Amino acid sequence: MSVLVLGTVAQDTVKTPFGRRAHILGGSAVHFSMSCRFFTDVSLVAVVGEDFPQKYIRFLRGKGVDLTSLAQAAGKTFAWEGEYRGDLNSALTLHTELGVLATFRPQVALRQRKIKHVFLANVDPDIQMGLLKQMSPPAFVGLDSMNYWIHQKRRALLRALKQVHIYVANDQEARDLTGEKNLIKAAKALRSFGPRMVLIKKGEHGVFFYSDAFKAALPAYPVEKVVDPTGAGDTFAGGFMGYLAGAKKIHETSVKKALAFGTVVASFNVEDFGVARTARLTMQEVRARLLGFKRYSSF
């Protein structure tokens, strides 16, 4: 089994109470892949500019990420600069430079078009749909978005939601898109927009999953020293989608296990800047923490 992810590859500059890192490897597709790789093969669809360091390409390849559909275009790599203060629950964006992302039209290599599990990380909903059209109808499609598209391209986003199996949102996005304050009502409203499953990420408060057949919730794994939360949501999604791609069936048992694995890998991601922690993470560590998480969250 295999997962294809569309998203961003970025150079992030991040400041947190634990320090500052400039031009480190980041982006939704990167964080997703660094987590997904523990469970299944992962193919990344994104674009970088001429300035993108070759060492990052080597690094991702070394981690087993298939970069066949990673395009390089004239211009600068997408760059994000942000700062976290206080409880590190929300980022203050200091600077965004779209660079080559502004004109990006993803092209999936022919041999990757039959991949059955697809994750559309946060980019323009029309671009997300453009990718989906290139694929042989996949078995399972997940989509993430963000407030910018909810407000600027609401209709395109709603059209896209009709084409996917699971919508992954954070709590604020779920509330903004539906106008519902109660998260359970918001999830129900999102379900009515099309996707059979809705997954709401609540940061330090864990995740909530909604479908007609069952609902589920897990707390976050308790991390005392959150160094850099950037990419935690994409890391979560990578573990979640990766585990499901490897599971025989998508049903209550596998979905809940996928939520747990996503939670655990995300909890490692926040322990260091960028992908520093997930880069040195082992499956043995993931499994050990999963056991601890089960004890922590069960009664």
Instruction: Tell me which of 54, 110, 179, 224 binds a copy of itself, using CB under 8 A.
Output: 224
Q: With binding defined as CB under 8 A, does residue 191 bind a copy of itself?
A: no
| Residues 137-176 contacting a copy of itself, CB under 8 A | none
Instruction: Tell me which of 214, 283, 287, 288 binds a copy of itself, using CB under 8 A.
Output: 214
Count of residues in contact with a copy of itself, rule CB under 8 A? 35
Closest separation in Å from C-beta 148 to a copy of itself: 23
Which residue type occupies 178? Answer: T
Residue 72: how many other CB atoms lie within 10 Å: 13
Tell me which residue of 258, 232, 249 sits closest to 39, measured CA to CA.
Answer: 258
Instruction: Tell me which of 222, 280, 288, 291 binds a copy of itself, using CB under 8 A.
Output: 222
Q: With binding defined as CB under 8 A, does residue 130 bind a copy of itself?
A: no
- Are the C-beta atoms of residues 165 and 140 closer than 8 Å to each other? yes
> Which residue, 61 or 251, is less far from a copy of itself as judged by CB?
251
Which residue type occupies 297? Answer: S
Q: With binding defined as CB under 8 A, does residue 199 bind a copy of itself?
A: no
> Which residue, 45 or 174, is less far from a copy of itself as judged by CB?
174
> Which residue, 156 or 290, is less far from a copy of itself as judged by CB?
290
> Which residue, 56 or 167, is less far from a copy of itself as judged by CB?
167
Closest separation in Å from C-beta 222 to a copy of itself: 5
Closest separation in Å from C-beta 150 to a copy of itself: 18
Instruction: Tell me which of 185, 191, 271, 276 binds a copy of itself, using CB under 8 A.
Output: 185
The encoded tokens of residue 133 equal 């059209």
Q: With binding defined as CB under 8 A, does residue 256 bind a copy of itself?
A: yes
| Window contacting a copy of itself (CB under 8 A); options: 60-68, 91-99, 117-125, 256-264 | 256-264
Closest separation in Å from C-beta 219 to a copy of itself: 4
Residues forming beta bridges with residue 197, ordered by sequence position: 166, 211
Instruction: Tell me which of 96, 158, 205, 285 binds a copy of itself, using CB under 8 A.
Output: 205
- Are the C-beta atoms of residues 6 and 120 closer than 8 Å to each other? yes
Quote the CA–CA distance of 266 and 229 in Å, as a whole number: 9
The encoded tokens of residue 211 equal 């479908």
Which residue type occupies 25? Answer: L
Closest separation in Å from C-beta 69 to a copy of itself: 33
Please report, as ranges, the residues that interact with a copy of itself according to CB under 8 A. Answer: 86-88, 181-185, 188, 202, 204-206, 208, 214-220, 222-224, 226, 256-257, 259-260, 294-299
